[in-house]
Structure formats: structure tokens, C-alpha cells
Structure 1
Amino acid sequence: MMIKAMKNYSFPFIAFFFLFFFSMMNFFLMIYFIMNDKVIFMEWELISFNSLNIVMSLLLDWMSLMFMMFVSLISASVIYYSKSYMYSELNLNRFIILVLLFILSMLLLIISPNIISILLGWDGLGLVSYCLVIYYQNLKSYNAGMLTALSNRIGDVFILMIIAWMMNYGSWNYIFYMYFMSNDLEMEIISFMVIIAAMTKSAQIPFSSWLPAAMAAPTPVSALVHSSTLVTAGVYLLIRFNMLLVEMFFLKFLLLLSGLTMFMAGISANYEFDLKKIIALSTLSQLGLMMSILSMGLPDLAFFHLLTHAMFKALLFMCAGVIIHLMNDNQDIRFMGGLNIYIPLTSLCMNISNLALCGIPFLAGFYSKDLILEMVSMSNLNMLIFYLYYFSTGLTMFYTIRLLMYLMLNDYNLLCVYNLFDEDYVMLKSMFMLLFMSVITGSMLSWVIFSVPYMIYLSLNLKLMVIYVSLLGLMLGYLISNMNIYSVNKFLMTYKLSFFLSLMWFMPYLSTYGLNYMFLNFSQKLIKSIDMGWSEMYSGQGIFLIMKKYSIFSNYFQMNNLKIYMFSFVLWMMFMFMLLIIMNY
């Protein structure tokens, strides 16, 4: 039994060691590729039959290597963390294998210049994410998994349509067509499909409702999904296809939708009391920021923010996992409080990752968010987009301060006897690795990604606008948390508004429950009218009824009744007589 237990817990450590080693290898390769301006494009021929060649393509450049480094480093931390978090799980190895399959799908997506292999990675992410969301087998998890899978299927269908459309070009290696076909009408249709596919995976309006629902998965999976894998797949796809997205009308539409996503997620997070859902909504807000800056034609900035965000968001979820464990699996922030006294190391990680999310100077988030907002200030956008950007930045600070007030400063509200301890060193080690990266990633990446530093000259007020909205959000968050605006009386006064804002502008009803119910209702009517109606009447059921009538009729004749036989004999004779008369005429 002891040997079995040792085997069970050695597998996560082997997976952690392999991923960490892979991450370091990618780091040194990425530095070498950047220094020498190197790109490797490999084609591995799987089948050659007459003129048919089926090849597996790989693209290794600084971008794919850097992203793989971040994915594998975060995955290594998450797997090491799972060793303690999933300690009571009987099938721990099965869980780790599912997580490794998830990572493998993402790595396949990252290094693919070929739309077929992108579909393999894309569908792999969708399938394994479904398995992980329904990992805790209960009704809520099944519903969340179904919602996630069905929402992501829309993107999968669009990728399949891109594959069909690209047969016109003779190859699926899209990387070769982007330069000389960017003004082609067919490529505009393909670009439109790519944008829709990316919007479903990165949960932009109107596909946003699956992201908070996916919180039904175990917390280590949430840390992985929301930092560097599933939700970033759409952003990464658009970064790769960014050549096609220039001068396209639909980009303005994407800019508006992603701005509204950012704004909606920020407001909803202020009305939420579930710890994991607040962090999930902050991910949604940051995804909106990445998509909007992409639609402005700045893919390098979007990639920069994607990587810096990955570090502190994974750390934030891991801290949330520790807190939920210590709270007897309770996720309601109203029961929490005073955690900085009892679990100082976890609170340190939580606070630093939250401050990095807010863009506090010299942490990871500052370098990318500040640069993005200054580029927005310099661009010739309308006031609506400008306000959406800055208001959403203020809301980020607002819900972060609210979260810190509930977790750190309020009184502990759960039990009179509690057992909070900060001595789970397996979790702490994995968190401190990401804590170190959350502090240094921003400055490190700003040196590595940009060959020339961005120097943006703006007027004093525009330059300080980021600080203004952050301070305003901080002040409002502090004051409103102190005013106890969420008390029952105040909440009931604005019940309808609160209900509307906390439910993500009724997004779950509109985009999922409503649409799914409408389609399911329509299919039910189709089954009733066609499968169980017309087709039954004109096939099996109809033939059965006709045969039944005829058999009853013939059975009536077979009762050996003399009168019936005499009557039928007279009728038959009359019929034959009439027939003879007609023939004579």
C-alpha cells in the first residue's frame, strides 16, 4: 500500500520536473533566436501517395518559444501545487494526465503554422477542458461543462469552415498567404471567421457566459486555463493572423465588443461574492483589453500583456485555492476576513498579484497596461472607446480593493473555532516561484520583446490619466466597502439594477440559456412534426395502420357468415354482368 502511495505522488513530481526543464530549454532557445533573428520552419511528411502529401508543420520563432516557456513554467507550478491541493483525490494520476493533455494541446496550437494542426490543438483544448470542468461530478459541473463545450463548438465550426475555404489556395499553411493576399476578398472572409473563432475561445461578448461557469473545475485547472492556455488561444490566433486584420471593417466592431466586454466584466466583478468568479471576471476584463488592443493593430503589445497577465493571474488563482481549502471549501468572500494575520505568506502572494493586476508601478502588469493605455491616448479613437478603456481600468482597481477589504481587513466571519495555517510548503513553493516571476516579468519582457523602447509623448494630464483613474478606483472601492453599500436594505433598493449587473447584463440568459433553449425547443418541434409526425405517418406507422384496417376488413369476411357470402356473390355476379355489357358495346 505504501509503495502504491509513493508511486501515486512521484508522478506529479516527474511531470513538474519535465515541464520546468522544458521551460528553461525554451528560454535559452528563445534568447538565441532573438539574438540571431532566427526562424525555423519544419515540415514532417506523414503520408505521400501520388500527388497527395500530408505533412505536419512546425514553426519555431521567438514568439512561439517565449509563449511555450511561459505555458510550461506555469504548468510546472500548477502540477507541483496540485500534488498538495488534490491530496485527497484517489485518481491523482488521472488528473495530472488530463492536465498534461491540456498543456500538450496548447503547445500544439502554439507551434502550428498549419490550420489543420491548429484545429487539432484547438479541439484538444475544447475536449480536455470539458473533461476537467466536469471533474467534480455533480449537476452544476455537468451544466458548466456542457455550456463551455457548446460555446466553444461555434469556434470549432468556424475553424472547419476556414479549412474548407483554404482548399482554394492549395495548402493549409496560412503563414505563406498572409503577405501577398491581405487585400484579397477571400482572405477577408477567412479573417472574419478567424475573428469569430477567437471571440468564442476568448469569451468576448456575446460568448462571455461560459467563462465564469468554467469555475466548476478544480482550482489548479482554473489557474492554468485563465492564465496561459484555453482563453489565450483566441488572442494568440489573432496575433498570428494579424497581417490579415489590417484595414478591415469588422475590426472596429471587434474593438467595440471587446471594450464592452472589459467594461461589463469590471462592473459584474463588483457585484460578485464568489472568490473564484471575481478572479474569472477579472480575466474576462483583461482578455477584453488584449482583444481591443489587437483590433487597433498592435499585436506585439497584446502579446506582451498576455504574458505578463499569465503570471500574476495563475498566482492569484493559486492563492484563492489555498484560501478556499482553509475556509472548509467555502468560496463566499463575506465569510472571510483578517487573513493577513493568520496566513501572512499566502496573503503576501495574493496582495502582490492583485497589485500587479491593477498595474501598480514596477510590478508585471504596470509595464504592459501603462503602455497600452498610453497608446490608446495617442491614437485617434472616439470618446466612447477612450472612456471604456479608462473606466475599465478604474473598475479593476475598484473590485481589487473591494476584494482585499473583504479578505484582509474585515473580521473573520465563518466559524468561532478556526484552523488557519500557512505551513503547506508544497503550495507555497509553487506560489513563490510565480511570485518572483510576477515581480520581474514586466521589466524582463519589455527588454526582450521590444528592440527599441516605446517612448510616448503626451500632455501631462493624459500621461497621468492612468494614475488618476487608478487612485479614483482605489478611493471609491475603499469608501464603498466601508459604507457597507452591500447591506440588505441598500441592495433591495436597487435590486433590479444589481440583478442586471451581477448577471453580466443577462448574458447567460441571452447567449446560452435563451439561445440553447430556443434551438432545443425548435429541435423538439422538428422531432414532433417530422420524425414523430409526417415521416411516421408516411412510413412505418402509416403502413401499420393501413394493414391493420385491411386485416380487420378481411377478418370480417372470414367469419363464415352465409349472408355475407351470398351478398358478396350477388355483387360479384352483377359486376361481371356489367363488365360483359360494356365489352359488347
Structure 2
Amino acid sequence: MLKSLSICLISFLVLFMSAIVSVVLGFYFISYDLVYFIEWEVLSLNSGAIVMTFLFDWMSLIFMGFVMFISSLVIFYSEEYMGGDLNINRFIMLVLMFVLSMMFLIISPNLISILLGWDGLGLVSYLLVIYYQNVKSYNAGMLTALSNRIGDVALLLAIAWMLNFGSWNYIYYLESSKGSLPMMIIGALVVLAAMTKSAQIPFSSWLPAAMAAPTPVSALVHSSTLVTAGVYLLIRFNNLLTGNYLGSFLLLFAGLTMFMAGLGANFEFDLKKIIALSTLSQLGLMMSILAMGFPSLAFFHLLTHALFKALLFMCAGAIIHNMKDSQDIRFMGGLVVHMPLTSSCFNLSNLALCGMPFLAGFYSKDLILEVVSLSYLNLFSFILYFFSTGLTVCYSFRLVYYSMSGEFNSLSLHPLNDEGWVMLRGMLGLSIMAVMGGSMLSWVLFPTPSMICLPLILKTLALSVSIIGAWVGYELAKFALNYDLQTLRYYLFTSFAGSMWFLPFISTYGVSNWPLKTGGYVFKSFDQGWSEYCGAQGLYSVFSFWSRLNQGWQNNDLKTYLIGFVLWVIVLLVLVFF
């Protein structure tokens, strides 16, 4: 235990100190508008050199700082949450490998070194999802890994297309080759890769399935690492999204993802899956504002969302830990009495998610919605933005009602308490940032306030939609029994909305039933059947027969063959004439 404790503490301290240095450097870089390219020649052979290129600018440094800050607190939190695990050292090492892969991805301006971090994230996320070894975790891990493989293949194809430019440092070519066909194809492939990693429709089903991982991993994955990798990559490639159909395509699918996830969370009863769908909704928001041509706003929301979403998962983990691994919100209730400090942090992060004024989420979310109101946007996308915002507040208040108010709905003899001080310290560190982080970042990233001039109705629309969403969520949860009976009456709609528009079924049964079975038949009848008979195995049989015959001729006396030949001639003559 002492050994594992020391690894947790050392990892926490190193990451925490690195995070402070990285964020301070990021603020310095943004103040003086600095960008550093560092090239490290790994190997030089004759005229060829293998060079690793690192890009240090304000964006990469601030994002790295946030990733290290959140991961340090998650590792500190894991010391108690994973305390019963005999292999906690292995768990911490996996988390550190995960963070290292994310670092590679953040500081690489080169598509090949980006693929190194990208594939590292995919592989380590698979190992973390199957950490609790059972059939459900295995299936979730396979779904996660295979969905992300599509994006890996798209990046490999983009790397192949980059050969046209003479180097894989994409950052040099984005502006100069903006309208060219190769750059358009590379942009389309990068958008596909980002959509798989950030779980946009139709690749959304892996994200709630990845909840099979331990909760500290969920807090890390769903706040600042795996799912945000796609958004970060598109922020770097944002030049390719404006002035063509790529941006419109991404805007449509991101808006639908945001709406689908918000709707689905209102029908879900698993605590972690509600928060996972909430992450999916926020990723849709980031992607859609990015598709409209506002990368700095998407990055701002990426950072503020990381703070309160990590806190939300850590609070959910503390509740699940105390509930003895029960995740169903219908068995909770009255937690505010038994776990007041955890409940305070939980409600704080929920309010930040809803965009409560002056918490972290408000500064980015409200600004995004106001910019949307100010922009040229079609009515469908406008409705998706604001309706999805209302749904976010709706499922948040429903969650708070089920878990925090009323009577405790589980066993009368229960161990609920707020005595896990190691977990609470980790949560309180993030709580401070969930309150102050948004305003601090807005001062640094937008030192000159944006001029947004809107009529009163549009200016107050975000607040009005949030208040209506909160009221609807509260009312639906209050009449829980009646609401459940109504959902049974409209079972088809409930099953459609509550199962993420049947995407999990399409991603699993849809792929395994017809395409994979057809592939199996083709493999057996062609690859292992006719192709073998007419191809390699057939040739092998023919050649081996003639080879044996030839060997027989060479090994024996000619007299034997002459006698045999004469005998065959006699037999044939007898058969013909008699």
C-alpha cells in the first residue's frame, strides 16, 4: 500500500507542478504572441533524417496545462477510489500513458507524430475500458477500439495524401493550399477522423459504452483527453472548414448529435451514462461552433467544459463508491442529507454545465449562444442550438431531483458518508476552478470583449430557454410514476429517443449481422474455397503431381517403363479389338 501511495503522490505532484508551469507559460505566450517550433533530429542516415517537430504556442501550452491539472487531481482521487485494487500501480501507469499520448497529440504539428498520440489514445483507452474484466467491459472496449479505428484509417489516408506537399507538417500548408483538391480531401479525412474520436453521429454509440471503465478514467476521458482530441485537431485544421461544404456538413451532424444526446439523457437512469450523454451534447456544441468558423470559442468551451465535467464525474464516482457500486438514480434520493459536501460539488458542477451566470460554463456557453444569435444561420440549426440548451438544463434538474431531494430510496442500513477526504480534496480542487476558471480564461483569451448587439428577446433567449428547461425537467421528475406510465404509452418514441436513435444497435448488431456474416461467407467460399482451388493450393497440387511423376521417371530404370509401356499398349489393343 505504501508503494502504491507513493506512486500516486509522486504522479500527482509532478503533474500538478508541470500544469502550473505550462499554464503560466501559455499566458506568457499569449501576451507576447509567441510561437516556438522545436525540431529534434532523432536519426540521420546519409541524406535522410528522422525529425520530431514540436509546436509550442499559447493554445498547446494552456491545453497541456489543463490536461495535466485534471489528470493530477484524478490520480490523487484514484488513490482512494481504487484503494481496493491490488494492481493500482498498473492502473496509474495506464493513466500516465494515456496522458502522455494526449501530450504527443497536443504538441505535434506533424500528421505522423499526431498519429502516434492518436493511436496511443485509442490503444490505452481500450485497455482502460476493459480494466474491470467481464463480458460487458470487453464488448464496450471492442466497440470503442473499432469505432476509433475508422478515424485512424482516415488519418493514415490523410498522411498518404500529404505526400503531395513534400512534408507532413500540415501547419505550413493550410493557408497556402486552402482551395486545392488534395487539401480538400485531407480536410474531409481529418473531419471524419475527428468525428469518430469525438463521437459525433453516426459514431456516437461508443461513448456511453466506454462508461464500463473505472470512474476516475471516465473523469479524465470525458473531460480533457480522448473525446476532445477530435475537437482539438479540427481547431488546428479550422482553416479548411470555412467557405466550403465541409463546415455545413459538420454543423448539421454536430447539431444533431447535440440534440440526440440531450434528448436521450432525459430517458436514462444510469448516473454515469447521463453524464456521458451530457459530454456528447457538449462535444456537439463545440463541433458546431467550430464548423461556423469560431475556433477560439470552441477552444474556450473545451477548457471550461473540461473543468466542470471532470468534477461532475468525480462527484458521481464518490456517490457510486458510497452506494456500493449502484449507479441507478432511482435508488438514490436525499443524498444531500448524507453527503452534503459531495452534493454541493455535484450541484455546483451541474449548474456550471447548465450555464448558471458567473460559473465556468456560463462564460463560454452564453458567449457561444450569443454569437450564434448574431451570425447568419438557418432556422433549423438555430432551433437545434437553443432546444438542445433547454434539454441540457432539463436532464440536469431531473438528475438533481432524483438523486438529491426526497427520501433515500435504497437500504435503510447504508454506509453513506463524506469521510473520504482524499476523494474530497481532489473534488474541492476542481470546484474552485469550476467557479473561477471561466472568468479567468475569458480575461486571458478575450482581453478585448466582443461587441455583441442583440435585441432584448434574443439577448435573454439563452436564459429563458434554460429556465423553461429546468422547470420542465423538475416537473417531469416530480411526477415520476405518471411520467414513466406516459413513456410506456409512447413506447416506440421512448425506445427511439432513449437508445440514442438506435445507434448502439446499428453499430453492433447492424455491423455484425449482415456485413460481417456476408464477409464470413465470402471468406469461406472464395478465399478458402475457389480461390484456393484455382489459385495457390490448386497450383501446388498440380505441380506436386507432375513433380512426383518426374521424380519417379528419374529414380527408376528405363526398362521398367518400357515393359510398363508395352503392357499398357497390349491392354489398350485388347480393349479396342476384343
TM-score bin (small chain): over 0.9
Q: 1:488, CA displacement in angstroms?
A: 5.0
In structure 2, what is the Cα distance between the partners aligned to 1:442 and 1:570?
A: 104
Counterpart AA for 1:494: Y
**SS of equivalent residue, structure 2 residue 435:** helix
**Counterpart in the other structure of 1:292:** 288
Q: Which amino acid aligns with 2:171?
A: I
* DSSP-derived class of the 1:231 partner: helix
How far 1:547 moved relative to its partner? 11
Residue 476 of structure 2 contacts residue 483 of structure 2 at CA under 8 Å; is this kept in 1?
no
Task: Quote the residue 2:82 is aligned against.
Answer: 86
Q: Is the 8 A contact 1:209 1:512 kept in 2?
A: no
What's the TM-score once normalised by structure 2's chain length? 0.93
Map of 2:94 onto structure 1: 98
CA contact (8 A) 1:349 1:432 kept: yes
Match of residue 205 from structure 2:
209
Q: Deviations over 1:446-483 (max 9, x none)?
A: 00111311121100000000011001001111111112
The alpha-carbon deviation at position 484 of structure 1 amounts to 1.8
> In structure 2, the residue corresponding to 1:87 is in which secondary structure?
coil
1:38 to 34, 41, 45: 34
| Equivalent residue runs for 1:64-463 within 5 Å | 64-463=60-459
Q: Kindly report which structure 2 residues correspond to 1:478-517, keeping only aligned pairs within 5 A, or say none.
A: 478-484=474-480, 489-517=485-513
CA deviation after TM superposition for structure 1 residue 518, in Å = 3.0
2:572 corresponds in structure 1 to 572
Using the aligned pairs only, state the percent identity.
Answer: 60
State the secondary structure of the residue aligned to 2:52. Answer: strand
Q: Distance in 2 between matches of 1:423 and 1:57?
A: 47
Contact 1:132-1:221 within 8 A present in 2 as well: yes
The yes-or-no answer on 1:27 pairing with 2:23 is: yes
Once the two structures are TM-superposed, the CA of residue 489 in structure 1 deviates from its matched residue by 3.1
Distance 2:568 2:112 in 1: 74
How far 1:349 moved relative to its partner?
Answer: 0.3
TM-score (norm 1): 0.92
Distance 1:166-1:541 versus aligned 2 partners, 3 A rule = closer
Q: Which amino acid is the alignment partner of residue 571 of structure 2?
A: L
Q: Distance in 2 between matches of 1:519 and 1:144?
A: 20
Deviations 1:38-80 (A, max 9, x none): 1110111112223322100000011000001100000000000
The residue type equivalent to 1:96 in the other structure is I
487 and 293 in structure 1: CA distance in 2 versus 1, 3 angstrom threshold: closer
Assess if the C-alpha contact under 8 Å between 1:375 and 1:456 holds in 2. yes
Deviation, 1:186, is 1.2
Letter in 2 for 1:58: F
1:533–1:274: structure 2 CA closer, same or farther, 3 Å change rule? same
Deviations 1:531-564 (A, max 9, x none): 332134446589889999xx9xxxxxxxxxxxxx
Equivalent residues of 1:309, 1:357 under 8 A apart:
yes
Structure 2 unaligned spans of 5+: 549-565
Question: Is 2:524 aligned against 1:524?
Answer: no
Name the amino acid aligned to 1:67. F
Check the 8 A contact 1:47/1:53 in 2, yes or no.
yes
1:335 partner amino acid: F
SS of 2:377's equivalent? coil
Q: CA deviation at 1:516?
A: 4.0
The one-letter code matched in structure 1 to 2:355 is: G
Which AA in structure 1 matches 2:378? N
* Counterpart AA for 1:41: F
Q: Distance in 2 between matches of 1:410 and 1:326?
A: 18
Cα distance in 1, alignment partners of residues 251 and 104 from structure 2: 28
Distance 2:163 2:444 in 1: 37
Tell me how far apart the structure 2 counterparts of residues 121 and 532 of structure 1 sit (CA, whole Å): 37
Which structure 1 segments of 5+ residues have no match?
552-565, 579-585
Q: Aligned pair count?
A: 559
State the alpha-carbon separation in 2 of the partners of residues 485 and 235 from structure 1. Answer: 40
Residue 544 and residue 174 in structure 1: after superposition, are their counterparts in 2 closer, same or farther (change >3 A)? closer
Q: Say whether the 8 Å CA contact 1:220–1:317 is kept in structure 2.
A: yes
Q: Give the superposition deviation at 1:570.
A: 5.3
Displacement of 1:576: 9.7
Displacement of 1:511 in angstroms is 3.4
CA–CA distance in structure 1, aligned partners of residues 574 and 543 of structure 2: 28
Conserved? CA contact 1:188–1:248, under 8 Å: no
Distance 2:541 2:33 in 1: 76
Aligned equivalent of 1:60? 56
Deviation beyond 6 Å, 4+ runs, structure 1: 541-548, 566-569, 575-578
Structure 1 residues 576 and 48: alpha-carbon distance in aligned structure 2, compared to 1, 3 A threshold: farther
1:259, 1:292 within 8 Å by CA — same for their partners in 2?
yes
Letter in 1 for 2:308: F
Q: Deviations over 1:278-326 (max 9, x none)?
A: 0000000000000000000000000000000000000000000010011
Q: Which moved more, 1:485-494 or 1:349-358?
A: 485-494
RMSD after superposition: 2.2
Amino acid at match of 1:571: V
Q: 1:49 to 1:567 in 2, by over 3 A?
A: closer
The amino acid of 1:446's aligned partner reads S
- Give the partner amino acid of 2:32: N
Give the structure 2 partner of residue 581 of structure 1: none
Letter in 2 for 1:461: I
